[in-house]
A = this chain, B = another copy of it.
Amino acid sequence: MQHKFKRIPRHIGVIPDGNRRWAQQRGLPKEAGYHYGIDPGFALYRQCLELGIEEITFYGFTQDNTKRPHEQCRAFQKACVDAVMKLTEGDAALLVVGNTESPLFPRELLPFTPKRVIFGRGLMKINFLVNYSWQWDLSTALKKLGLEGTFNKSSFPENIASADISRIDLIIRWGGRRRLSGFLPVQTIYADFYILEDLWPDFLPEHLYQALHWYEEQDITLGG
C-alpha cells in the first residue's frame, strides 16, 4: 500500500512503552520484554528514513526507571546498548543524551555523548535518551549559569543538557498511556501527541502511517 502525505513531521519523538506488559501476556518474566523492542526500533528507523523524516528521538530509559528491580534495569540497559549498536550499521547521525555521571549509564554508550557521531551517510539524526531525567536536563542550565555567572534570556532553552535535540513535532507513544512521563519537557512543548494502544514489541509499520495520517490533519500554531 502506497502512502502519500501532505505534510510530514520534521522530528518524531518515540515512547516505546509496554515491553513488560507484552512479556507478561506471554508468560515471560517482565524483563524479557525489552529485547523484543530492538527490532521494532530498527524497523521504525528504516521506515522513517524512507519517508524522509529528518530526526527521531527514542525514549530509552530514565533515572526514574532505574528504581525498578535489578534484572529489569540490566535488561533495558542492554536493550539500549544493542539498539544503538544496531543503528551504527545504518546511515545515522547518532546522539545519546543522559546523565553519564551515574554508574547506571552504560559505558558502551559513552562514545555517542556529548557530541553526535556520524555513521554511513548520516542521513537521519537519531537521538537516544539513556539514563535521562527531566530534572537533570533542565537543571543543567542552572549549573552552567552557576559556573559562568552570567544570565541572559536565552540561556534557559539553550543551556539545557538536551540542547542538541531540536523541537519535536509529533510524539508517538505505544502502550496506551496518555502522558509524557518526563520526556524532554522543553522540546515537547508544542508537540502533537498520538497514542497507540498496541504494546511496543507489537509494532507494525501501519502504526506509523496511522500517526502520520492523523498528524497531517492537525493545524500547527506553535502556541500562537
Contacts and interface: CB of A to CB of B under 8 A. Distances in A.
Given A139-B156, A156-B135, A224-B67, A182 B189 contact: yes
Contact of A192 (B65, B135, B156, B178): B178
Given A134-B189, A138-B138, A182 B143 contact: no
Nearest to A215: B178
A26 interface: no
Interface string A192-207: 1110000000000000
A181 interface: yes
Copies in the complex: 2
Given A151-B142, A189-B185, A193-B193, A224 B179 contact: no
A100 interface: no
Contact of A177 (B62, B68, B218): B218
A157 B135 contact: yes
A180 interface: yes
Contacts of A193: 178-180, 193
Nearest to A184: B185
A191 B142 CA distance: 25
Interface of A: 62, 64-65, 67-68, 134-135, 138-139, 141-143, 145-146, 149-151, 153, 155-157, 177-182, 185-186, 188-194, 218, 221-224
Given A135-B153, A141-B142, A142-B155, 18 more contacts: A64-B222, A68-B224, A138-B138, A139-B153, A142-B145, A143-B151, A145-B146, A177-B218, A178-B218, A179-B190, A179-B193, A180-B180, A180-B188, A180-B191, A180-B193, A181-B190, A182-B223, A185-B189
Enumerate the 3 nearest inter-chain pairs by beta-carbon distance, A residue then B residue, closest first: A64-B223, A146-B151, A139-B156
7 contacts: A67-B224, A142-B155, A146-B150, A180-B180, A181-B190, A185-B185, A193-B193
